Amino acid sequence: MDSLSTKDIVGVILLGIVFLVVAFFVRAGPDSRRPREKSFNCWRCKALTPHTQRTIEAWRNGKTRLFCGACHAHWLQSHPPPASQPRPISGGYRPRRRSSPVGALIVFGVVVVMSVFGRSCS
């Protein structure tokens, strides 16, 4: 078995640097889990209101009618909470989480590095 040549080592190092740069830009890209706008118009009173954790979570769940804190409190008072029963998960259904492309990039990088080392060792 021959040792790795300088050309192979430089190639692996450059590949690692490219991989790290791509992974950094994928992670540092625009956050699709937050609304682009910093504020929204309340659906009830039309007040321009900054987003809160509650409204961001509602936005993530696909809600389009967002309410300011005062209107939300008013709605909560006028709608008493239902009798809570834990709802069983039937059929094993669980909401799917968004996966990150970083995992796929890591797997791809490992496959490329293994192929470079496999080629140089044979």
pLDDT digits (tens, 9 = 90+) for 41-85: 999 999 999 999 999 999 988 898 999 999 999 999 998 887 766
Give the Cβ contact number of residue 19 at 10 Å: 17
β-partners of residue 40 are: 49
pLDDT at site 4: 72
20 and 39 within one domain = no
Domain total in the chain: 2
The alpha carbon of 11 is separated from its chain's Cα centroid by a whole number of angstroms, namely 31
In angstroms, the CA 96 to CA 83 distance is: 27
Examine the domain organization and report whether 58 and 70 are in the same domain.
yes
Q: Domain residues for 67?
A: 34-78
Q: Confirm whether 12 is domain-assigned.
A: yes
Asked whether the beta carbons of 43 and 18 are under 8 A apart, the reply is: no
Asked if residue 53 belongs to a domain, the reply is yes
**Residue 102 is assigned to a structural domain of this protein:** no
- Of 45, 62, 78, the one marking the end of a domain is 78
